[in-house]
Structure 1
Amino acid sequence: MPVYQYVVLNGKQPEEIIEVEQKAYDAPLYEHPVTKEPIKRVPASPSLSLNHSTTSEKNSLSEENLDKHGFSLYHKDNSDGSYRKQGGAGPDSIHP
């Protein structure tokens, strides 16, 4: 479920921000769930936890990790168009 941010409209500084977990199709809240003060939903950037970074890609595509998970790694030999094994349990070369 998404987490939405709301600002409490009580005039105090600094503004109090609360986070409320709601279903995406639920209507926005207009009242603080505990204090009953007026609140307003504020736009916020999504909090996405993606596993796609340069470091994680390098780690997941490393020869050791591929071999551990049963994959073979091949690099193309531009001189003859064949593929030479760099790691894993497959054949030493592939000639297309």
Structure 2
Amino acid sequence: MRRPRGSSWGAPVSWALELAPGGIASSAVSPAPTATEMFRRTRPIWQRGGAQGDRLDPARLDAPDDVAAAVSFLLSGGAGLITGHVLGIDGESTLGGR
């Protein structure tokens, strides 16, 4: 199961505490591997399976639009009360059992 590292988890909380008095919300996204051309070119093991590729379905890699939609939501008025949160964009990869 993939979990955010300390800095990627702690930084948004620290920023939120520091910026909240000014009315500024601060959060972060934590995407799983994202299906970009660079990812495919530099990670051929994912296409063969093996190592981490055994645990994740290559057809289920995040699409760049998935990550962009999450960032757009956090920037929208609909996320005005969300602050200090790390939003995982990872399909089901952090649910375990895979």
Give the TM interval when normalised to the shorter protein. Answer: under 0.3
TM-score, normalised relative to structure 1: 0.23
Greater strand content: 1
Structure number with bigger Rg: 1
TM-score, normalised relative to structure 2: 0.22
Greater helix content: 2
